[in-house]
A and B are shown apart, each in its own frame.
Chain A
Amino acid sequence: MKQHWLVRPGTIRLLWAVFLFVLALTALAGLFTEGRARFGIDGSLAFYAWYGFLSCIGMALVAKVLGRLLQRKDSYYDRD
């Protein structure tokens, strides 16, 4: 069966390239904002980029740890 064009490895490589380019662009565009340092930290270079990235990594890790403690088979309650 022919692969859908969206899932061909070439397309995926292209999408990654475009994505990284756009990321660089938005980070650069940060230089042209009226840096609103309301709390100090939010005035740092490309604050929203690194803060967004790190908080996502952080949340995914917290979820992972919590999952270790709290995840059960999805038939857990079915026995009742």
Chain B
Amino acid sequence: MTVISAMPPGLPLVLGALLLPLFGLRIRAALVLGLPLLTLALIWQVPDGATLQVAFLEYELVPVSGDRLSRLFATVFATMTFACGLFALNRARVIELVAALLSAGSAIGVSFAGDLITLVAFWELLALSSTLLLWSAMTEQSYRAGMRYLVIHLLGGALLMAGVIGHVADTGAVTFTAMALDSPAHWLMLAGFLMNAGAPPLSAWLPDAYPEASPTGMVFLSAFTTKTAVYVLLRGFPGAEILIFIGLYMIFYGIVYALLENDMRRILAYSIVNQVGFMLCGIGIGTELSLNGTAAHAFAHITYMVLLLMSAGSVLYMTGKRKCTDLGGLFRSMPLTTICGIIGALSISAFPLTSGFISKSMISQAAADETMAIAWLLLTAGSTGVFLHAGIKFPWFVFFQKDSGLRPPDPPLNMRLAMILCAFLCIAVGIWPAPLYAILPFPVDYDPYTRTHVIEMLQLLLFSGLAFFIMLPYMKRTLTITLDWDWFYRWLGPRAISQVTQVLSRWHAHSRIGFLRRLGSLFGMLFLYHGPQGILARTWATGSMVLWVVILLGIYLVAYYY
């Protein structure tokens, strides 16, 4: 028992990932499906408090420290690794599966990290394995997007590392607990965490990178990085008010950009930013209800986001097309994918009887309880916007709208099973929230299914639906992208640098000519005086030497007389 409970739950995934390439299809499939289940079992063996301590330099590291919050996040990470593994089985490259299991293992490692050094180690491993996951799509675009992803995440890692070093220097402790924003070190750590959450201004990495992954790769990617950031913010900075403002920005940024987007998986990438915005608001509000709501919403969100991306991934896998302008009318030949996509879309919109309904309402309720009128109004408007951009827009443009003429069948069996599993989870949690409420960090005293709340939510969502269909002529998809903050480092930066280098090289060429001319005349002068025939360097006759001595002595003699 003690040996098992001291085993880092993420370890089997990380080690197993490295063994995958050694085996054939069958054993590999067994590992991809079996390891997450083994991990799940290990997660629930971890008791409260530190179970493993290791001395490192002069610090006491705690690689495994359990509590309700760690177990909750690790549970959903492991469950979704299983579901995504099932989805990707026999479809994804081995390298993609290796990277996926590595990132799952490191996300679970972060969830149980009791100290900041362990946290940073798993944090960096997550960034590296996610980059590998992106690159495993093996396209030119995924290589470039992966590079940009890596740069941003290494920058975030460096900020976090600097913050951790400052924190350790200030306090002498490496334990990872709740912190106040009272020192530059803590601000740096917050910035490092926010970078992974997709917070502004550097949020563009998410919609830039994820849609370049393979159809199965993006399903994995969506599950770990941003939600690990939500977890560390939830533990490290509960009640930090600035997170409310950042969260609200992310909510509306996600909606507006998703409304303008044409690539179906980029629409969903924007809605990840939007949903993480809701979670940051919950963390910023900081009451027990809002923190519970955030944790529950993270759980629900990972499940329905994975489901949505599985249905989008299936469409991409079967048709090879990703733009709304090329898609449409797929409900005829892909009924299961359509239904699962709609279930995911209803869950993300927080429709009653789905998982989003029982989790997101806790966050809005907490804002109302704290009489944050503006925040509550904006969160409510944000909820309608989610229905607008993800709840209706995604299924409408992919599965309905015009008939694109495409008639692909539903995807292979393993992909269908994975979607059914996630759809089942979305609805089961929505109908029967008690088991999820039971594992939340704080005791739950909240009933989402009051008559008032259900009617309010139905009004909100159905009338947003009406707005969508009224505005449909304005929603027509065009072959466009929307510029984001990444324009500064993808367009302006490279051009500015090439401008500067051009000016510098022109100046260099000019000044080089002038410099060489001046150098040449200098050498000429030196040669004149000091060269072999130069007046100062040539050999003089002994006679002239004697003559000069006589002259000097003569002058001396004359001077002496006076």
Are the CB atoms of B452 and A34 closer together than 8 Å?
yes
Are the CB atoms of B459 and A56 closer together than 8 Å?
no
Bound CA span A33–B466, Å? 22
Are the CB atoms of A33 and B452 closer together than 8 Å?
yes
Are the CB atoms of A59 and B451 closer together than 8 Å?
no
Residues of B within 8 A of A58 (CB): 381
Assess whether B396 is interfacial by the CB under 8 Å rule: no
Within 8 A of A (CB), among B363-381: 368, 371, 373, 376-377, 380-381
Are the CB atoms of B462 and A22 closer together than 8 Å?
yes
Assess whether B259 is interfacial by the CB under 8 Å rule: yes
Bound CA span A36–B376, Å? 13
Residues of A within 8 A of B490 (CB): 77, 80
Residues of B within 8 A of A7 (CB): 329, 403
Looking at the assembled complex, report how far the CB atom of A15 sits from the nearest CB atom of chain B, in whole angstroms.
10
Out of A23, A62, A74, name the residue touching B480 (CB < 8 Å).
Answer: A74
Question: Which residue on chain B has the smallest CB distance to residue A33?
Answer: B452
Best-surrounded residue of B255, B455, B465, B467 (most CB of chain A within 10 A): B455
Residues of A within 8 A of B385 (CB): 55-56, 59
Bound CA span A42–B507, Å? 66
Question: Which residue on chain B has the smallest CB distance to residue A67?
Answer: B260
Question: Which residue on chain B has the smallest CB distance to residue A80?
Answer: B494
Are the CB atoms of A32 and B403 closer together than 8 Å?
no
Question: Which residue on chain A has the smallest CB distance to residue B323?
Answer: A74
Question: Which residue on chain B has the smallest CB distance to residue A53?
Answer: B463
Best-surrounded residue of B263, B384, B456 (most CB of chain A within 10 A): B456
Are the CB atoms of B481 and A71 closer together than 8 Å?
yes
Of the stretches B110-118, B183-191, B471-479, B528-536, the one at the interface is B471-479
Out of A23, A41, A77, name the residue touching B466 (CB < 8 Å).
Answer: A23
Assess whether A44 is interfacial by the CB under 8 Å rule: no
Best-surrounded residue of B377, B381, B459, B480 (most CB of chain A within 10 A): B459
Looking at the assembled complex, report how far the CB atom of B205 sits from the nearest CB atom of chain A, in whole angstroms.
14
Binary per-residue interface labels of chain A (43-75) against chain B in the complex, 1 for a CB within 8 Å, 0 otherwise:
000101111110111111011101100111110
Q: A55-B381, A76-B481, A77-B491 are in contact. Are A63 and B464 (CB under 8 A)?
A: no
Q: A33-B452, A55-B384 are in contact. Are A49 and B471 (CB under 8 A)?
A: no
Q: A39-B373, A74-B262 are in contact. Are A52 and B384 (CB under 8 A)?
A: yes
Q: A-side binding surface: helix, strand, loop or mixed? A: helix
Looking at the assembled complex, report how far the CB atom of B401 sits from the nearest CB atom of chain A, in whole angstroms.
10
Assess whether A14 is interfacial by the CB under 8 Å rule: no
Assess whether B460 is interfacial by the CB under 8 Å rule: yes
Question: Which residue on chain B has the smallest CB distance to residue A20?
Answer: B466
Assess whether A26 is interfacial by the CB under 8 Å rule: yes
Are the CB atoms of B471 and A27 closer together than 8 Å?
no
What total of chain B residues lie within 8 Å of the partner, measured CB to CB? 53
Q: A39-B373, A39-B376, A77-B490 are in contact. Are A60 and B259 (CB under 8 A)?
A: yes
Q: A51-B381, A64-B474 are in contact. Are A30 and B459 (CB under 8 A)?
A: yes
Are the CB atoms of B388 and A33 closer together than 8 Å?
no
Assess whether B332 is interfacial by the CB under 8 Å rule: yes
Binary per-residue interface labels of chain B (434-452) against chain A in the complex, 1 for a CB within 8 Å, 0 otherwise:
0000000000000000011
Bound CA span A51–B460, Å? 7
Assess whether B509 is interfacial by the CB under 8 Å rule: no
Assess whether B256 is interfacial by the CB under 8 Å rule: yes
Residues of B within 8 A of A74 (CB): 262-263, 323, 479-481
Bound CA span A76–B323, Å? 16
Bound CA span A4–B403, Å? 10
Best-surrounded residue of A55, A62, A64, A73 (most CB of chain B within 10 A): A55
Are the CB atoms of B459 and A70 closer together than 8 Å?
no
Assess whether A38 is interfacial by the CB under 8 Å rule: yes
Looking at the assembled complex, report how far the CB atom of B116 sits from the nearest CB atom of chain A, in whole angstroms.
37
Residues of A within 8 A of B377 (CB): 39, 41, 51
Are the CB atoms of A66 and B464 closer together than 8 Å?
no
Assess whether B482 is interfacial by the CB under 8 Å rule: yes
Question: Which residue on chain A has the smallest CB distance to residue B490?
Answer: A77
Q: A59-B256, A71-B481 are in contact. Are A26 and B376 (CB under 8 A)?
A: no
Between A and B, 15 residue pairs with Cβ closer than 8 Å are A23-B463, A26-B462, A33-B451, A33-B452, A36-B452, A38-B371, A39-B373, A52-B459, A52-B463, A55-B384, A56-B463, A56-B467, A64-B474, A67-B482, A73-B479
10 further interface pairs, Cβ-Cβ under 8 Å (given A51-B460, A59-B385): A7-B403, A30-B455, A49-B462, A51-B384, A52-B462, A56-B388, A56-B464, A59-B252, A60-B467, A74-B323
Question: Which 4 pairs from chain A and chain B are nearest by CB?
Answer: A56-B467, A48-B459, A55-B381, A52-B460
- Which chain A residues have a beta carbon within 8 Å of chain B's beta carbons? 4, 6-7, 19, 22-23, 26-27, 29-30, 32-34, 36, 38-39, 41, 46, 48-53, 55-60, 62-64, 66-67, 70-74, 76-77, 80
